[in-house]
């Protein structure tokens, strides 16, 4: 069983795996191995290598846990939180704890090991994004959960283990610190200006020089944030104000898929195939009405994409102080110019 | 010149190096190289390889920038912030900026390349810790600075580049986010309970089972925090309540040196020579009296030591949600037991 423990000062919640404590020698370096698709548990035809599927988009007539799917969701084989646990809260002296209740699912993005967000078609990607919506809507029904965090670690340096493209969901009985910081920050901004800060960012970034814009579509904006923490960090914002990712519709999800594909094909072309983290920030659910009464006015869901190019980031963990050697205007310019160069080549 | 840029939502400040933007290919992996002490700029006898020293503790009669020192402080050759800049603050549309004013110094901890915090003597270590105090006291005099962050990145995985043991200081015109979170959190705690939360942690950890204590001395406590983010994370707290590291006296610094040495020799024995980050959290200075009027009552300086054993930490950047596979009680037990085993061997 794991425990959720709260830091008494910063109120940061940490998942402590009390069940199988790692001995010191267990941390020896895991070597980057050759891809062995024979033993890949996420490839089509290997469905028996995962726990039974939770849901899959699959061809009519095909059976669960057999080929014929295009997006497939399975429980994590080694979940950090467990759905069977009862939600209990208690104190130990000064400290606050919760039982390690939660869900930890894997979303296998493609049946094909070598597909990715850069080389797949827009329609294929839209199905993954639609699955995100479906899973959040389902997890929301469980009153024990307050948040569903969707993320993707691609490449060893970004914490990824299995190379077959997949995302993860962790549903938790608490709101992650970074999301809470955003909620608090946007509330403060809203109280001061009576406007959503993310809507203000969209206005700011799409007028004048547009020098941080990477891709702009009808409904979405992908840009290098003004105070980017990492080289080539990119955020994607929906132009329509909404706190909750789940409100996305079929037309929007197609538009978003196009933008995601554009962003990743640019990143891949410019940086090789960089390790990266992808995080979806949406609003919490099942929270006290009083606490988040205005949340629908001030919060705005978005996606953060962080290539992991530097090991420089050392003391950042302990200080929250980031040093970024690449100005976002420069990153956005290089990413934008890729199209122009190719258009010139085509002529 | 670099710029300090503020994220409009989280109010996190980021240093953006606008001067020498890194081209994408510049991020290719830097390989772990054999230690070449011939070309080490920090070894005794190589003083001409660094910028002129700011201060050094050295034998009477020896000249600056020559052998004879035991702790030596030099400016960083590639500073992230520059002391010559004028502090300017301005807005660009929605966004807030400051000029990249600051100091970035390197504290060379030993003349000998192979000394470290585990194998050096307590007196030697106390000289490094005393130098921290001296540098903060000096940087405090500059009214442009609000914070002096002392940290240490040891090993490539922790962001360290030069293997010769050294710490760094970055003095900034802003307070780092993580420190601000601690200040806000301890203020809230103090307002609620009328006690310093760190003093409460000391009381909690030193009574009863003491199962998270690693080393305890007269004046200091080294323990594995209840909500540790990382395996074998250790914090060191002074038992005497004080917000400012600079108030440390000669007797305390000797006691602290003993504790630091104990902690590192335990970590080295248990984990090999792990990469780690070391961060000193002390209170800000030159801040508005109103803003930090009560700071002296609620804040408490401390040291955070974070071994970097896992690459697991991927999405933590984007979520602030940590998963720690090693319960702190287990980590502390293994670290404590090292002594017993050796005592048994001695018998």
From the CB of residue A103, how many other CB atoms can be counted at a distance below 10 Å?
A: 22
Does the global pTM surpass 0.95?
no
Whose CA is closest to A141, among A52, A246, A243?
A246
Paired sense of beta strands A95-99 and A2-6, if any? antiparallel
- Cα-trace Rg, chain B: 21
Annotated catalytic residues of B are 166
From the CB of residue B90, how many other CB atoms can be counted at a distance below 10 Å?
A: 10
Angle A128-A132-A134 from CA coordinates, rounded to 5°: 110
Q: Are B140 and B285 in contact (CB under 8 A)?
A: yes
Provide, as residue numbers in chain A, all residues whose Cβ is less than 8 Å from the Cβ of B321.
13-15, 149, 170, 172, 176-178
One-character DSSP codes across A65-108: TSS-EEEEEEE-SS-SSBTTS---EEEETTEEEEE-B-EEEEEE
Q: Are A331 and B28 in contact (CB under 8 A)?
A: no
Best A225, A321, A324, A336 residue to mutate vs chain B (most B CBs within 10 Å): A321
Tens place of pLDDT for every residue, chain A, 347 residues? 788 999 888 888 888 887 656 666 666 554 545 567 889 999 999 999 999 999 999 999 999 999 999 999 999 988 888 888 889 999 999 999 999 999 999 999 999 999 999 999 999 999 999 999 999 999 999 999 999 999 998 887 777 788 999 999 999 999 888 888 999 999 999 999 999 999 999 999 999 899 999 999 999 999 999 999 889 999 999 999 999 999 999 999 999 999 999 999 999 999 988 989 999 999 999 887 766 667 889 999 999 999 988 765 556 766 778 888 899 999 999 999 987 666 565 55
Which residues fall within 8 angstroms of residue B156, CB to CB, at 6 or more apart? Answer: A311, B30, B32, B275
Q: Are B54 and B72 in contact (CB under 8 A)?
A: no
Helix (H) or strand (E) holding B14: strand B13-17
Test A16 with B227 for CB contact under 8 angstroms: yes
Test A157 with B311 for CB contact under 8 angstroms: yes
Best B4, B18, B25, B27 residue to mutate vs chain A (most A CBs within 10 Å): B27
Q: Identify the residue with better confidence: A81 or B302.
A: B302
Partner-chain residue, chosen from A168, A323, A326, that has the shortest CB–CB distance to B80: A323
From the CB of residue B225, how many other CB atoms can be counted at a distance below 10 Å?
A: 23
Helix axis angle for A177-193 and A197-205, nearest 10°, is 80
Q: What Cα–Cα distance (Å) separates residue B184 from each residue in A115, B237, B246?
A: 46, 19, 21
Model pLDDT for residues B36-53, shown as the tens digit of each residue: 788 899 999 999 999 999
Fold exhibited by the domain A2-20+35-310+321-346: HIT family, subunit A (3.30.428)
Test B22 with A322 for CB contact under 8 angstroms: no
Residue where the block lists tokens 């794991």: A2
Secondary structure letter of residue B151 according to DSSP: E
Q: Are A264 and A116 in contact (CB under 8 A)?
A: yes
Q: What are the sequence ranges of the domains in chain A?
A: 2-20+35-310+321-346
- Cα-trace Rg, chain A: 21
Partner-chain residue, chosen from A12, A176, A270, that has the shortest CB–CB distance to B227: A12
Pick the residue from chain B with its C-alpha nearest to A151.
B315
Pick the residue from chain B with its C-alpha nearest to A149.
B319
Alpha carbon distance A213, A231 (integer Å): 15
Alpha carbon distance A23, B299 (integer Å): 35
> What pLDDT does A17 receive?
81
The CA distance from B93 to the nearest CA of chain A, in Å, is 7
Test B27 with A322 for CB contact under 8 angstroms: no
From the CB of residue A193, how many other CB atoms can be counted at a distance below 10 Å?
A: 12
**Backbone angle region of B231, left / alpha / beta, with phi > 0 → left and psi within -120 to 50 → alpha:** beta
Is 70 exceeded by the pLDDT of residue B347?
A: no
Burial of A225 (0-12, 13-18, 19+ CB in 10 A): buried
Pick the residue from chain A with its C-alpha nearest to B190.
A9
Provide, as residue numbers in chain A, all residues whose Cβ is less than 8 Å from the Cβ of B30.
311
Q: What Cα–Cα distance (Å) separates residue A344 from each residue in B64, B70, B132?
A: 59, 61, 56
Q: Report the top-level CATH class of B2-30+43-309+320-346.
A: alpha beta
From the CB of residue A61, how many other CB atoms can be counted at a distance below 10 Å?
A: 6
> What pLDDT does B299 receive?
95
Active-site residue among A46, A113, A164, A166?
A: A166
> What pLDDT does B19 receive?
66
Q: What Cα–Cα distance (Å) separates residue B196 from each residue in A93, B23, B199, B202, B294?
A: 15, 47, 5, 10, 11
Sheet of B147-154: strand order equals B55-58, B69-75, B103-108, B166-172, B147-154, B276-281, B302-307, B234-238, B220-223, B213-216
Alpha carbon distance B124, B260 (integer Å): 12
> What pLDDT does B64 receive?
97
The CA distance from B106 to the nearest CA of chain A, in Å, is 14
Test B197 with A8 for CB contact under 8 angstroms: yes
Partner-chain residue, chosen from B22, B158, B318, that has the shortest CB–CB distance to A326: B22
Residues facing residue B74 across a β-bridge: B106
Percentages of chain B per state (helix, strand, coil), in multiples of 5? 30, 25, 45
Test A5 with B226 for CB contact under 8 angstroms: yes
Which residues fall within 8 angstroms of residue B89, CB to CB, at 6 or more apart? Answer: B96, B97, B98, B99
- Is A300 designated active site? no
Q: What Cα–Cα distance (Å) separates residue B116 from each residue in A102, B57, B236?
A: 43, 18, 18
Test B14 with A317 for CB contact under 8 angstroms: no
Best B151, B325, B328, B335 residue to mutate vs chain A (most A CBs within 10 Å): B325
> What pLDDT does A72 receive?
98
- Beta strand extents in chain A (DSSP E only): 2-6, 13-17, 55-58, 69-75, 89-92, 95-99, 103-108, 147-154, 166-172, 213-216, 220-223, 234-238, 276-281, 302-307, 322-324
Alpha carbon distance A42, A107 (integer Å): 10
Test B9 with A172 for CB contact under 8 angstroms: no
The CA distance from B116 to the nearest CA of chain A, in Å, is 19
Model pLDDT for residues B117-137, shown as the tens digit of each residue: 999 999 999 999 999 999 999
Paired sense of beta strands A89-92 and A95-99, if any? antiparallel
Test A324 with B197 for CB contact under 8 angstroms: no
Helix (H) or strand (E) holding A331: helix A328-346
Model pLDDT for residues B89-100, shown as the tens digit of each residue: 999 999 999 999
Partner-chain residue, chosen from B157, B176, B325, that has the shortest CB–CB distance to A17: B325
Alpha carbon distance B4, B99 (integer Å): 6
Provide, as residue numbers in chain B, all residues whose Cβ is less than 8 Å from the Cβ of A16.
227-228, 324, 327-328
Test B9 with A314 for CB contact under 8 angstroms: no
For CA atoms A222, A224, A228, A231, give the dihedral sign.
positive
Partner-chain residue, chosen from A10, A156, A320, that has the shortest CB–CB distance to B176: A320
Alpha carbon distance A73, A222 (integer Å): 27
Partner-chain residue, chosen from B14, B30, B204, that has the shortest CB–CB distance to A94: B204
What is the predicted ipTM?
0.89
Provide, as residue numbers in chain A, all residues whose Cβ is less than 8 Å from the Cβ of B204.
93-95
């Amino acid at each position: 069983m794991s425990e959720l423990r709260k830091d008494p000062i910063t109120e940061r919640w940490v998942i402590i795996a009390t069940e199988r404590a790692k001995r010191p020698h267990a941390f020896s370096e895991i070597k980057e191995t050759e891809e062995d698709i024979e033993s890949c548990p996420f490839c089509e035809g290997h469905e028996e290598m995962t726990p039974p599927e939770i849901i899959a988009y699959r061809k009519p007539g095909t059976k669960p846990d057999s080929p014929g799917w295009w997006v497939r969701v399975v429980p994590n084989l080694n979940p950090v939180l467990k759905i069977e646990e009862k939600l209990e809260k208690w104190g130990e002296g000064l400290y606050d704890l919760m039982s390690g209740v939660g869900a930890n699912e894997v979303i296998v993005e493609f049946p094909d090991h070598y597909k990715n967000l850069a080389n797949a078609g827009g329609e294929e990607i839209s199905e993954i994004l639609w699955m995100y919506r479906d899973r959040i809507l389902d997890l929301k029904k469980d009153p024990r959960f307050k948040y569903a965090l969707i993320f993707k670690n691609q490449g060893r340096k970004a914490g990824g283990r299995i190379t077959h493209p997949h995302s993860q969901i962790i549903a938790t009985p608490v709101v992650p610190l970074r999301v809470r910081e955003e909620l608090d920050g946007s509330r403060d901004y809203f109280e001061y200006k009576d406007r959503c800060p993310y809507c203000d960012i969209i206005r700011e970034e799409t007028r004048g020089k547009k020098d941080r814009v990477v891709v702009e579509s009808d409904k979405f904006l992908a840009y290098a944030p003004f105070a980017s923490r990492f080289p080539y960090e990119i955020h994607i914002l929906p132009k329509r104000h909404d706190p909750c990712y789940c409100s996305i519709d079929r037309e929007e999800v197609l538009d978003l898929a196009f933008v995601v594909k554009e962003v990743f094909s640019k990143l891949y072309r410019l940086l090789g195939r960089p390790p990266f983290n992808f995080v979806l920030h949406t609003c919490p659910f099942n929270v006290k009405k009083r606490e988040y009464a205005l949340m629908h006015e001030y919060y705005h869901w978005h996606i953060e994409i962080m290539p992991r190019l530097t090991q420089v980031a050392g003391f950042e963990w302990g200080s929250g102080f980031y040093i970024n050697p690449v100005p976002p205007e420069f990153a956005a310019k290089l990413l934008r110019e890729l199209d122009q160069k190719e258009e010139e080549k085509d002529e």
